[in-house]
Structure 1
């Protein structure tokens, strides 16, 4: 049967107990601050006014997301493809969710809150050492956060050497886009694409 309400859902699943039930925090503390400082990668999730969802990867040197205080994070909007999906959604609804990851660590940090976009110099100046400084930043007012257990990463073996795929065994971005869009654009090698991307990092 299709599950249609929370009562049916709870017939399948137990209620959370122990630490899982009480681990939600409402501001950063030393371990969450340390997690953000060590993280070079996060996925941010946003939604527009029509409830269309988007998830976007963000990366940089460890600590690329700045901690302004125990209730506020600052995410640089690094140079990308100019679709502006995430920041357009933020302008519409202000909702944001984040999943921080650290290579080699199976636990993750989840943060939810309200977001706004700023091009104020006092924020942009925090990233002025970047080769391509951001034009704008995402300011996150934290509403809740908690550490997420290691099970998903353990199942996937995401950081394991044996789980890694040789890049040559997977189609290039150009090949995939040509097939998806039914185009016949000239193909660049993976190495050529990486060299092109390096200019925008």
Structure 2
């Protein structure tokens, strides 16, 4: 049966209760701030007015996301490939969802809120020491913030050494793009790719 109504969904799953219902807040507390400060990686989700969705990885040194207040954070738009999928969506709808990860920690932190792009000098100066300072920042006003349980990461064993595959048994980005694009050129090696990326990090 295809589930196509909220009623069908709730008949199957019911409603959240207890901590799962009560853990959603509208402001950062000390634990959420600590989580953000310890996170070198997040996933930024957004959508356009037409419903075009995007999920984009963002990463940096610890503290690369700046906590401005208990209701506002800033993400630098680090140098990338200029597709600006997420940025275009933010300009259109001003809504984002974030998932913060901390290596070795199975819980995650989720934030949903309003967002806009800024070239405000005060904001950009927060990242002035970066090798490649951002052209703009994503300013997020928090609507919801909550810790997400460890089940998904425990199931996946994401941080377990036993989960790591042999890198030599997985095709390089160069090989995958060669196959996908039908290129006749030799695929870029991983070593060459990493060397090329270094100037943009």
Q: TM-score range by the shorter chain?
A: over 0.9
Q: Helix, strand or coil for the counterpart of 1:50?
A: coil
- Give distance in 2, aligned partners of 1:93 and 1:5: 25
* Matching residue of 1:91: 91
* Matching residue of 2:73: 73
Per-residue CA distance 1:127-156 (angstroms, 9 max, x = gap): 111111111000001111100000000000
* Matching residue of 1:118: 118
RMSD of aligned alpha carbons: 0.8
- Give distance in 2, aligned partners of 1:143 and 1:10: 24
- Aligned length, in residue pairs: 201
- Give distance in 2, aligned partners of 1:181 and 1:11: 46
Structure 1 residue ranges without an equivalent (≥5): none
Q: After the TM superposition, which parts of structure 1 deviate over 6 Å for at least 4 consecutive aligned residues?
A: none
Structure 2 residue ranges without an equivalent (≥5): none
- Structure 1 residue 186, shift from structure 2 partner: 2.8
- Give distance in 2, aligned partners of 1:99 and 1:78: 18
Per-residue CA distance 1:60-99 (angstroms, 9 max, x = gap): 0011000000110000000000001111110000010000
Q: Helix, strand or coil for the counterpart of 1:106?
A: coil
- Structure 1 residue 192, shift from structure 2 partner: 1.3
- Give distance in 1, aligned partners of 2:184 and 2:96: 37
- Structure 1 residue 11, shift from structure 2 partner: 2.1
- Structure 1 residue 187, shift from structure 2 partner: 1.6
- Structure 1 residue 184, shift from structure 2 partner: 2.1
Correspondences of 1:9-48 after superposition (within 5 Å):
9-48=9-48
* Matching residue of 2:49: 49
Higher mean Cα deviation, 174-183 or 30-39? 174-183
- Give distance in 1, aligned partners of 2:20 and 2:171: 40
Correspondences of 1:1-201 after superposition (within 5 Å):
1-201=1-201
TM-score by length of 1: 0.98
Q: Helix, strand or coil for the counterpart of 1:139?
A: strand
- Give distance in 1, aligned partners of 2:185 and 2:30: 50
